[in-house]
């Protein structure tokens, strides 16, 4: 024990260890807080504590300074400035990130809207493509029908030409037969023998022709069609007796019918179609007959009778009455589309008449003939119709002529039929007048009424084909035609 103590006392070192500063004090190895050593003590090399290290040959004092070095103010300021700059950059980056986030949201919304728009465009494109294909097919079908109609018209013109040649030959044969009949009549006067006379009568009896039989059959068929507008002034049995032809008489004594049973197409330089009959006349076609028209305002094809022999020609006939063969007591749809026979009595059609009058400014001419053969006319310097949604209302201009003005009273009036009552009367004027017309309350003219034979007629109502300023309302005219041409 004593030796060890001795050795420890002889081999001790003074170890100076400055402790960590805590709260202005120094912390010793035994955990006690003491006052920090003064700077003069540190400079003198003195230590706050002394440790005895056995068996160490170290001279002098070992001092361990654990105090952190003091920082320079400029370096602190630079660090603070760098930290501030980094903080500003961080704020800018955060702001930029927020802006980019909102922009990305907008881009996503626009992309979604663009996708929906592209889908809608694709749908519309498909629909448009289907419509284009459908219209193309319709155009092809329309061209095919036009080609068929033009071919049929050409064939009809060829048949008409052949028929006209046959008519010429028939006329030549008729004149030959007439001259032969005259010669036979002279021979009969010279012959005193009864037997010879009977022989000559047998020779002069003409054969029955198929054309005459066909004509009589058509007349009997039209008479047997006992509709509302049949000629009511003559009994049915009288009409049937009149249609029987006495073949025992010579051909020269048989009076030809007033109207031919068939009127052919005129021989034209080209098959058309034309805008109207004035266009036909301007193209060099001066024969009256049926022509093919194309209404440019509606791209419609129709046939109409062109009158080229009256009032300088160029007239498109829109209505004609002459023998009572066609019933004019019709429905609205029939008056709209047209009906009848283009070679005889017919009505062109309200819809066709509307589109025809849209091509230019037209005037109207009404030609009337009584049963004594007197002809008069009434002309109006402008004429057109309103569309169907306004019931084809009549629009007329100023009147001039020698028939008297019986149509201006119907100006600005809607068209009325039995199934469409658009007149100003309490009842239906079409029911009483037996036709379709621009009735008011009710009529000063009724050109689509009942065709009565002989002029004056007896009826419960004034339902004949009359023009009040020409023979009054109780006189049914023999022939009536309405026609228009550009002014």
Give the Cα separation of 412 and 422 in Å (integer): 12
- Per DSSP, the residues of 267-319 read --SS---BSSHHHHHHTT----EEEEEEETTTTEEEEEEEE-SSTTS-EEEEE
Query: Looking at the domain assignment, is residue 296 inside a domain?
Result: yes
Residue 264, Cβ neighbours under 10 Å: how many? 19
Task: Judge if 334 and 474 occupy the same domain.
Answer: yes
Task: Judge if 427 and 291 occupy the same domain.
Answer: yes
Whether the per-residue pLDDT at 131 is higher than 50: the answer is yes
Residue 378 near residue 468, CB atoms below 8 Å: no
The residue among 63 and 339 whose pLDDT is bigger is: 339
Split at pLDDT 50, 70, 90, the class of 466 is very high
Residue 230 near residue 239, CB atoms below 8 Å: no
Give just the sign of the alpha carbon dihedral 444, 448, 449, 451.
Answer: positive
Whether the per-residue pLDDT at 2 is higher than 70: the answer is no
Split at pLDDT 50, 70, 90, the class of 63 is low
Query: Looking at the domain assignment, is residue 467 inside a domain?
Result: yes
Task: Judge if 289 and 140 occupy the same domain.
Answer: no
| Residue 231: per-residue pLDDT | 44
Chain-centroid distance, C-alpha 13: 123
Token pair in block for residue 393? 């209302």
Split at pLDDT 50, 70, 90, the class of 180 is confident
Residue 130, Cβ neighbours under 10 Å: how many? 10
| Residue 61: per-residue pLDDT | 58
Task: Judge if 168 and 284 occupy the same domain.
Answer: no
Task: Judge if 170 and 289 occupy the same domain.
Answer: no
Mean pLDDT of the chain: 76
Whether the per-residue pLDDT at 258 is higher than 50: the answer is no
Task: Judge if 154 and 293 occupy the same domain.
Answer: no
CA neighbours closer than 13 Å in the CB half-sphere of residue 412? 2
Instruction: Tell me how many domains the chain contains.
Output: 2
Query: Looking at the domain assignment, is residue 164 inside a domain?
Result: yes
Split at pLDDT 50, 70, 90, the class of 163 is confident
| Residue 474: per-residue pLDDT | 93
Query: Looking at the domain assignment, is residue 337 inside a domain?
Result: yes
Whether the per-residue pLDDT at 354 is higher than 70: the answer is yes
The residue among 291 and 68 whose pLDDT is bigger is: 291
Query: Looking at the domain assignment, is residue 21 inside a domain?
Result: no
What are 43-62's pLDDT values in tens digits? Answer: 454 545 555 556 555 566 55
Task: Judge if 284 and 424 occupy the same domain.
Answer: yes
| Residue 162: per-residue pLDDT | 82
Task: Judge if 134 and 282 occupy the same domain.
Answer: no
**Among all chains, which residue has been given the structure tokens 């002309």?**
379
- Average of per-residue pLDDT across 5-18: 46
Domain with 103, as residue range(s), is 90-177
| Residue 483: per-residue pLDDT | 97
Query: Looking at the domain assignment, is residue 334 inside a domain?
Result: yes
- Which of these, 454, 453, 455, lies nearest to 473 by C-alpha position? 455
Q: Is the pTM of this model over 0.75?
A: no
Task: Judge if 326 and 471 occupy the same domain.
Answer: yes
Q: Domain end: 137, 152, 177, which one?
A: 177
Pairing of strands 315-321, 346-347: antiparallel
What are 269-287's pLDDT values in tens digits? Answer: 566 789 999 999 999 999 9
Query: Looking at the domain assignment, is residue 94 inside a domain?
Result: yes
- DSSP percent split of the chain into helix, strand, coil, nearest 5: 40, 20, 40
Task: Judge if 288 and 408 occupy the same domain.
Answer: yes
Task: Judge if 464 and 339 occupy the same domain.
Answer: yes
| Residue 143: per-residue pLDDT | 87
Whether the per-residue pLDDT at 293 is higher than 50: the answer is yes
| Residue 172: per-residue pLDDT | 79
Query: At 462, which CATH number?
Result: 3.90.215.10
Task: Judge if 167 and 308 occupy the same domain.
Answer: no
Q: Domain end: 177, 199, 228, which one?
A: 177
Query: Looking at the domain assignment, is residue 120 inside a domain?
Result: yes
Q: Domain end: 177, 209, 242, which one?
A: 177
Whether the per-residue pLDDT at 1 is higher than 70: the answer is no
The residue among 365 and 107 whose pLDDT is bigger is: 365
Whether the per-residue pLDDT at 439 is higher than 50: the answer is yes
């Amino acid at each position: 024990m004593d030796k060890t103590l001795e050795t420890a006392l002889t081999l001790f070192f003074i170890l100076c260890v400055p402790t960590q500063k805590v709260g202005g004090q120094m912390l010793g190895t035994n955990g006690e807080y003491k006052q920090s050593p003064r700077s003069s003590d540190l400079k003198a090399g003195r230590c706050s504590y002394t440790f005895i290290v056995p068996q160490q040959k170290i001279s002098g004092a070992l001092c361990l300074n654990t105090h952190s070095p003091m920082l320079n103010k400029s370096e602190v300021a630079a660090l603070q400035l760098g930290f501030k700059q980094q903080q500003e950059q961080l704020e800018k980056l955060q702001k930029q990130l927020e802006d980019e986030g909102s922009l990305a949201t907008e881009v996503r919304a626009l992309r979604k809207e663009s996708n929906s728009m592209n889908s809608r465009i694709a749908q519309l494109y498909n629909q448009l493509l289907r419509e284009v294909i459908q219209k193309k097919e319709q155009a092809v079908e329309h061209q095919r029908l036009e080609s068929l109609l033009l071919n049929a018209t050409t064939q009809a013109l060829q048949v008409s030409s052949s028929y006209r040649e046959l008519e010429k030959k028939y006329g030549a044969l008729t004149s030959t037969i007439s001259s032969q009949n005259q010669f036979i009549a002279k021979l009969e006067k010279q012959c005193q023998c009864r037997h010879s006379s009977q022989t000559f009568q047998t020779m002069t009896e003409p054969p029955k022709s198929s054309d005459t039989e066909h004509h009589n059959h058509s007349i009997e068929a039209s008479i047997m069609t006992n509709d509302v507008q049949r000629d009511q002034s003559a009994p049915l049995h009288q009409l049937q007796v009149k249609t029987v032809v006495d073949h025992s008489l010579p051909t020269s004594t048989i009076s030809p019918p007033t109207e031919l049973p068939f009127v052919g197409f005129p021989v034209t330089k080209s098959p058309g179609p034309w805008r109207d009959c004035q266009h036909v006349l301007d193209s060099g076609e001066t024969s009256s007959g049926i022509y093919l028209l194309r209404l440019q305002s509606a791209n419609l094809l129709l046939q109409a009778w062109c009158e080229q022999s009256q009032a300088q020609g160029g007239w498109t006939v829109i209505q004609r009455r002459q023998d009572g063969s066609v019933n004019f007591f019709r429905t609205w749809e029939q008056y709209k589309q047209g009906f009848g026979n283009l070679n005889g009595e017919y009505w062109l059609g309200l819809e066709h008449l509307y589109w025809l009058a849209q091509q230019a400014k037209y005037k109207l001419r009404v030609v009337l003939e009584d049963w004594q053969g007197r002809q008069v006319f009434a002309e109006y310097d402008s004429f057109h119709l309103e569309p169907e949604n306004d019931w084809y209302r009549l629009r007329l201009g100023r009147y001039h002529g020698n028939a008297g003005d019986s149509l201006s009273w119907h100006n600005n009036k809607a068209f009325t039929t039995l199934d469409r009552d658009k007149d100003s009367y309490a009842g239906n004027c079409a029911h009483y007048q037996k036709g379709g017309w621009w009735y008011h309350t009710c009529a000063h003219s009724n050109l689509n009424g009942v065709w009565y034979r002989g002029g004056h007629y007896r009826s419960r109502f004034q339902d004949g084909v009359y023009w009040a300023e020409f023979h009054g309302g109780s006189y049914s005219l023999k022939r009536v035609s309405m026609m228009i041409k550009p002014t």
